[in-house]
Amino acid sequence: MTNRTILTSQNTSHGFYGTMTICPQRDCTSDDLWTLASTLIADAVNAEGEAEMIGVRDFLDSKMGRHFADEVIDALRSGEANTKAALDTTITKWMRRGINAQTEVSHGIPEGLPHLEGWVVHFAILAETEDA
């Protein structure tokens, strides 16, 4: 595991953070869960630098982060023992799922790239272009 800076949510009412407030588990404290999700996603997509960590944060803060949270909650309701297991299951699904042609056309994310990685990179690029 790499030493990286976990960025705080800028959208605590919506996205992943806001959606996870309805988590059915006791180990779902929002800040701890945010840190765990950010760390596990960063590990999965090999995010290390500041720009990549901005991509992780912005992904989780987005509508896609809400969809990701929905799948984490579904995994918990389907019997995963705890939030880490549910996050691992969801990350694995999102890394196996590929970006489709429609997403490539609408968002410019290359078709076939793992879904999770594609969205994190997409948000990192958006953040960089907004700062330019």
- pLDDT by residue (tens digit) across 23-55? 766 666 678 899 999 999 999 999 988 999 999
pLDDT at res. 26: 67
Name the nearest CA neighbour of 53 among 122, 114, 4, 125: 4
CB atoms under 10 Å from CB of 91, counted, come to: 21
Work out the pLDDT band at 22, boundaries 50, 70, 90.
Answer: confident
pLDDT at res. 128: 87
pLDDT at res. 32: 86
Q: 69-78, pLDDT tens digit by residue?
A: 999 999 999 9
Name the nearest CA neighbour of 61 among 108, 126, 112: 126
What are the residues whose beta carbons fall under 8 Å from the beta carbon of 87, sequence distance 6 or more? 36, 37, 40, 72
